[in-house]
Amino acid sequence: MAQPQRTERAGAAAAAAPLLALNNVEVVYNDVILVLRGLSLKVPEGQIVALLGANGAGKSTALKAISGLLKAEDGEVTRGDIVFGGERINGLEPDEIVRRGIFQVMEGRRIIADMTVAENLRLGAFTRGGVDVRADMERVYSYFPRLRERTGLAGYLSGGEQQMLAIGRALMARPKLILMDEPSMGLSPLLVREVFGIIERLNRELGVTILLVEQNVRAALQ
């Protein structure tokens, strides 16, 4: 009877394993500037986890460490492990991390202003190869119907519409985990409620896990 009991315990432990785990992570910029030290966190699959803190506390750096974007800023994970789906991912190239199921919605949206809304959305599916993305675009439009009406350049969208486009572009990659960096930045209180309502729907209806960095503590915790 002992062996089945051990198997059951092992199965329960595996089921409880987080989708993402940071274990004692340290990040250094330009080989000398220590920005993060000893950061550990867990993100359970199918949940929304909010990472809160003051401006300059290193929240955005933590997301870039996960998504592999530190390299673009001369940053490096010098200690600790970042584990996604049971596999260590720190050190992988950003495109490989996207292919594994992580997509970061950057602070300030970072949409391509001189491309159309549809072109920005198709760009989100780039790492999936030459697949037919029409069904994915229809799904994005079902969550963000305003984007269907915007046929011009993305640079002419309002701040709220640009944030919706940035989230929609992330969905085009069919991610398991979306990293969201300050989604409320620059938005009116009404738009903040709308955007956070959509984030909640994406989590509830699509099962997308979300790690959220936010200074608006009240909105994030709600």
pLDDT single digits (tens) 47-88:
999 998 777 888 999 999 999 999 888 999 999 999 999 999
pLDDT tens digits, residue range 158-179?
A: 888 999 999 999 999 999 999 9
Q: What is the pTM of this model?
A: 0.86
pLDDT tens digits, residue range 118-160?
A: 999 999 998 887 778 899 999 999 999 999 999 889 989 988 8
What's the chain's length in residues? 222
Residue entry with tokens 């970072």: 110
Distance CA 17, CA 82 (A): 14
Q: For residue 17, which phi and psi values (nearest 5 degrees)?
A: -65, 135
**Token pair recorded at residue 77:** 């994970």
pLDDT score for 159 = 87
